[in-house]
Amino acid sequence: MKMNKKGDFDTGWEEGMGIIFAALIFIFLFIYVGMQASGGLIQEQTIAKEVCMIASSAREGSSLEIVHAGNIIIEGRDSGIIVKSSKSSVGYFYPCYLNNAEFSVKDNKTSIMIK
């Protein structure tokens, strides 16, 4: 035990809280790095870029049907493409500037209609 300036003994709660705080930061950092290292983000980025390249090179009046894994969701929003790993996920937004495309999602199929 340490003595404080008054000559009394400290209870040690300050040091204990510091150790708990440092442990929480370490745990959250470990979880964050583990989620990023799983490869999910790079998979979403690659799918978004490939879909954008295919859709932007398609001719007017054509339709594209993309069959993908059941856990992936491909959406068109504003002027880009969003690829999500689940409905609650934020996903990856890739600016594609497809103003003449309609997206429709059914199960594990995404249909893109180029106007």
What is the rounded CA–CA span in Å between residue 59 and residue 102?
Answer: 14
**0.85 exceeded by the pTM?**
no
pLDDT band at residue 11 under the 50/70/90 scheme: low
pLDDT band at residue 25 under the 50/70/90 scheme: very high
pLDDT at 89 over 90: no
Please state, rounded to an integer, the average pLDDT across all residues of the chain: 85
pLDDT at 20 over 90: yes
- Which stretches of 6-84 are DSSP H helices? 13-36, 40-57
CATH no., domain 40-114 = 3.90.930
Which segments of the chain belong to CATH 3.90.930? 40-114
Instruction: Give strand pairing partners of 75.
Output: 82
Order across the sheet with 63-67: list the strands: 63-67, 109-114, 101-106
Mean pLDDT of 94-99: 87
The pLDDT value recorded for residue 3 is: 67
